Amino acid sequence: MPDTLHAYRHVSGIYFPIAIGVFAAVVLALSSLLVAGARRRERPSGRSGAHRFELFYVLALGAVATFLVVVTFRAETPIDRTVASPGLRIKVTAAQWSWRFEYPGGVSVAAVSTWQPPVAEVPTGVEVEFAGSSRDVIHGFWVPQLHFQRQLLPGYVTRFDLRFDTAGHYGGECSVFCGEQHSQMHFAIEAVSPNAFQAWFSRQRSRLGGTA
Amino acid sequence: MSTTALPVRAAPLRALAGTDHKRVARNAGAVAFVFFLAGGVLALIMRSQLAADGGVVSQNTYNQLFTMHGSTMIYLFVVPLALAAGLYFVPLQVGAAEVAGPRLALAGLWLLVAGGVSMWSGFLTSGGAASASWWGFDPLSDSIHSPGSGMELWIFGVMMVTAGQILWAGCILLTALRRRAPGMTLMRMPVFTWSMVVTCLLTVFAFPALIVALCLLWAQRHFGGVLTGGLGAVDYQQLFWFYGHPVVYVMFFPFVGMVGEIVATFSGRRFFGYNAFIVALLCFAGLSMTVWAHHMFTMGQATNKYFSLTSTALVVPAGIEYLDLLATLWGGRLRFTTAFLFALGFIVQFLVGGLTGIILASPPLDYGLNMSYFVVAHFHYTIFAGSAFGLFGGIYYWFPKLTGRMLGERLGKAHFWLMVIGTNLTFFPMFILGTDGMTRRIASYPASTGWQTLNVLETVGAGVIALSVLVFLVNVLVSLRSSEHAGDDPWGAQTLEWATSSPPPRHNFHTLPPIRSYAPLLDLRDARERAMP
């Protein structure tokens, strides 16, 4: 299940406390060494190593690194995987400096103007497969609320799955600097219930039929 | 009489063409510092733009500003200054009369000047300076998306300075390996010299990849068909980051070495865990050649788990280095000089950069944080809050050796505390903004994001940093005008550069003390104390 939000929260819930703990421990050790060293009147120590302690310390560092890698690998495997039969496939095309989302059956969503970025509707609770590519330079498909981004390359299709568990408005940005109007490359994803999505999708299709 | 010295008499000519490694290194350091000031001015303009929420410069100018800020700080300031420190002190620390390849060292200086001028002259062209970021990524940097001579001047400039840096690395490496004084075995070389050896190994192995990448980019711009399609863009990144990650350690190791020397000297004791530290440095360097594609996690074109594994494994050598730095304080009798304060600043603040680096080495976290201000905060904590503090520590420590004059301690401490406040005020809020989704390389953000307050705070911090650098410049000017001489060894230091006059004579030493460990001057003092009960 490509639940990027859950993966991010799970991993950061382990990494950040460890980082803060290590920082606090080093600062504490450093402060006590500084206080002791500032008070010291006798000759400085001549000791230049403590091999047994160093060996133990290396093993401890190795254990921490191993633990972190295991946590990361376990969280990464499901979010890197694409499922065989997603609930919806959307083709994303990025170009300087806008986005275009193409649904099955010829439905597509594109920017009206810089001030009206495209809003792509998706159903909640299912895997949505995005097949993204770029028409010019590298762009970055980034949904900050999902803590997920993937780069879109020219002449190559990058596939990834996302899952929107809660309905709502998800802002999107281009994360990879892509030239003068990079800052204007917004998009949005509107996650709605599967029924509402079906209704929206049928409306779009009939509108398509009307103009054809 | 040396066979390498040019028969140059006139002083100005000697400044341009003298091959004394100390003169070349001092000039290179001065040039790099001027580029630091210039890059800092670009940063201040960017910070004004972000505090004023736009209106100071256009988006296009802003793109040139961040491109040239990053390019200047990395290609023209930190890397050349780190290598210049090695060029000056490695021959002295190993007891050599001269650097290996003095003319190549001089060529490196001129390549730095020529390359820097080339990159900056882009501002004079009609299209402006390069604006494709310091990475110069294809296809954004190709002739369609970045037309104009600014980009061309950037490509040639970066190639020149990089070539010069490879020459310097070769000179320093050969000096340490082939020009050591009798008694100076490899495992008696000072910590700083060892840090330069691993730095130069990385430079020699990794930097050519950047020149190759830029040659391909140049060919792509003029002839096309070299970096084609989506995977051409990936190819460029593979080559670029094969340089671009080792360069991070080129900007780190020399300063760890400096901090090691400073901590040992001002604790008045032998460096703790020397052997472990050297082995850790070598492992660190080897491992750091295997982590480059962690910059490409979000491309989905690299084996993320492999690069995540190697990047996380860096915890082990980094942890050993930290242990040895801290343990050197243990049982020491500390003297809180300005140099020592900067070294402590390095230890604490670099740790923030290092720990957040481990966070970014986890792909599930990187997917959410890459290209955000979290990354900007992370690498500024390593390069500025870390390496620049180590560098200033090194400057306060070695200034008497370079000039024969002491830097003022009172102004020095004002410089230190202002820089600590400015640095953390500028860069810490970026972690918060980054986790909130603030993307880098954007000239103004919508007011609805609510990021304005912290952006103003960061800009105030940048102003405090600028003030601290002004205090430093005043300190340098005041010291150079003073007539009081520093003496050969004002700190009671431990390594050979302090066993000669300040500044050292043309061929560095008239006599050398016996070398029986990595702290020969400490050995001499210990022997003297034992002789006088």
Segment A62-89 mean pLDDT: 93
Q: Which of A140, A156, A160 lies at the smallest CB-CB distance from B230?
A: A156
pLDDT digits (tens, 9 = 90+) for B89-111: 999 999 999 999 999 999 999 99
Distance CA B493, CA B271 (A): 12
Distance (Å, whole) CA B458 – CA B456? 5
- Give residues with Cβ within 8 angstroms of B406, minimum separation 6: B399, B400, B479, B482, B484, B486, B490
Q: Which residue of A has its CA nearest to B356?
A: A19
CATH 1.20.210.10 is right for the domain spanning B16-446+470-531: yes
Quick one: tokens of A207?
């509108």
* Cα–Cα distance measured from residue A204 to residue A101, given in angstroms and rounded to the nearest whole number: 13
Distance of alpha carbon B377 from alpha carbon B133, whole angstroms = 17
Query: In this predicted structure, what is the pLDDT of residue B14?
Result: 74
Cβ atoms of residues B147 and B127 within 8 Å: yes
Complex ipTM, two decimals? 0.94
Name the residue of chain A whose CA is nearest to B147's CA. Answer: A179
pLDDT computed for residue B2 by the predictor: 45
Q: Output the pLDDT for position B17.
A: 83
Contact B320 A54 (CB under 8 A): yes
8 A C-beta contact, residue B403 and residue B503 = yes
Coil, strand, or helix at residue A147?
coil
Contacts of B441 in chain A (CB under 8 A): 177, 182
The full set of domains in chain A, from first to last, is 4-80 (no CATH), 88-211 (2.60.40.420)
Cβ separation B334–A76 shorter than 8 A: no
DSSP-based three-state secondary structure for A79: helix
Which of B235-260 are b and which e, b meaning 16 or more Cβ less than 10 Å from the residue's Cβ?
Answer: bbbbbbbbbbbbbbbbbbbbbbbbbb
Strand order in the sheet with A148-152: A119-123, A186-192, A168-174, A139-143, A148-152
Q: Which of A54, A70, A81 to mutate against chain B (most B CBs within 10 Å)?
A: A54
CA separation for the pair B519, B274 (Å, rounded): 11
Q: At A82, is the pLDDT very low, low, confident or very high (cuts 50, 70, 90)?
A: confident
DSSP letter assigned to residue B361: T
Q: Which two tokens stand for residue B51?
A: 């505090």
- Minimum CA–CA partner of A71 in chain B: B362
Residue range A121-173, pLDDT digits in tens: 999 999 999 999 999 999 999 999 999 999 999 989 999 999 999 999 999 99
CA atoms lying within 13 Å on the CB side of residue B44: 13
Structural contact between residues A124 and A192, judged by C-beta atoms closer than 8 angstroms: yes
- Band (A116; pLDDT cuts 50, 70, 90): confident
**Where do the domains of chain B lie?**
16-446+470-531
The per-residue pLDDT for B8 is 52
Q: What b/e string do you get for A188-211 counting C-beta neighbours within 10 Å, with b at 16 or more?
A: bbbbbeeeebeebbeebeeeeeee
pLDDT at B532: 79
Which residues of chain B carry a pLDDT beneath 70? 1-10, 229-230, 533
Global confidence as pTM: 0.95
Cα–Cα distance measured from residue B138 to residue B388, given in angstroms and rounded to the nearest whole number:
30
pLDDT of residue B229: 65
d(CA B257, CA B430): 28
H or E, element range at B343: helix B338-360
What confidence tens digit (pLDDT) does each residue in A15-49 have?
A: 999 999 999 999 999 999 999 999 998 888 888 88
Mean pLDDT for all residues in chain B:
94
Task: State yes or no: cis peptide before B139, omega within 30 of 0.
Answer: yes
Task: State how far the Cα of B330 lies from the Cα of B308, in Å rounded to an integer.
Answer: 34
